[in-house]
Homo-oligomer: A and B are copies of this chain.
Amino acid sequence: MTVMRDDARRERWERAGEWPLTVAALVFLLAYSWPILDPGLARTWVTVTDVLSWVAWAMFAVDYLVRLLLSTHRARFVRRNVLDLAVVLLPLLRPLRLLRLITLLGVLNRRAGGSLRGRVSVYVAGSALAVMFVASLAVLDAERGAEGANITSFGDALWWAATTVTTVGYGDTYPVTTQGRFVAAGLMLAGIALIGVVTATLASWLVDQVREIEDTSRTATEADVDGLRAEIAELRAAVERIADAGDVSGR
């Protein structure tokens, strides 16, 4: 019982923290993207974005710690939330904090309503755009100063992200730094997932359409069998009425 109350407290915290963390992700987005998009940013503003970035980090760190403390099985909590820990500890994985913004997609989706396939499509389109945007920022951050780099403006970075996520890969723009290549590898995985989800959604739709059209003889449903059962129950009542009558007549 203590276990359950403890885990319930953690879940309450997580529900309460959903929106503050989304705000923290938005703050981080601003603090992360501004200096990258405007390389000639005044010294003061760079300091401001640095401070905002640390504030966002602190919020993620505090959230992780509180959740860890509220957990009963702490070892299991750490094992199951490795990504959350990595996002807090490794500066390289900072951009992943923006994944929190998927919460916003969820809200958008709830307002739009619609079928499962529709919701999957909204998530995929939204995530693909978000991932492309973040990857463009990250790769530009890594490449800009590098020697021999061919991604030197945000336009180039977006174009590179488009050629990468669709797996076209012309080769006119590509990362040359190790950090940029890690970003690229992540984006390629996103691209494969994107192609997979598009194909899977289409396949699922087509399978359903074909089934609907070609199935002229529908399979028997529970309702049909329930109808049968009702008929048999009535029949049994009729038989029992005879039995009673027979008892009377045979007495």
Contacts and interface: CB of A to CB of B under 8 A. Distances in A.
A168 B155 contact: no
A83 interface: no
A192 B193 contact: no
B208 A199 contact: no
B192 A166 contact: yes
Interface stretch (A54-62, A99-107, A234-242): A234-242
- 9 closest cross-chain pairs (CB), A and B: A249-B250, A171-B171, A200-B203, A168-B169, A200-B202, A166-B188, A196-B199, A170-B171, A170-B174
A153 to B, nearest CB: 11
B232 A238 contact: no
Nearest to A224: B225
A195 B200 contact: no
A228 interface: yes
A200 B192 contact: no
B241 A243 contact: yes
Interface string A180-216: 0100110011011111111111111111111001100
Interface stretch (A5-13, A37-45, A156-164): A156-164
Nearest to A243: B242
Contacts of A191: 166, 168
A147 to B, nearest CB: 14
A141 to B, nearest CB: 18
Given A199-B202, A231-B232, 12 more contacts: A163-B169, A164-B168, A170-B170, A195-B199, A199-B199, A200-B206, A204-B210, A220-B222, A231-B233, A246-B249, A248-B250, A249-B249
A223 interface: yes
A178 interface: yes
Contacts of A193: 198, 202
User: Could you say which of A117, A174, A200 has the most chain B C-beta atoms within 10 Å of its C-beta?
Assistant: A200
B233 A236 contact: no
A108 B141 CA distance: 37
A184 B162 CA distance: 9
Contacts of A203: 196, 199-200, 203-204, 206-207
A194 to B, nearest CB: 7
B222 A224 contact: yes
21 contacts: A116-B213, A162-B181, A170-B170, A170-B171, A195-B195, A196-B201, A199-B199, A200-B205, A200-B206, A207-B207, A208-B210, A217-B223, A219-B221, A220-B224, A228-B228, A228-B229, A232-B235, A235-B236, A236-B238, A241-B243, A242-B242
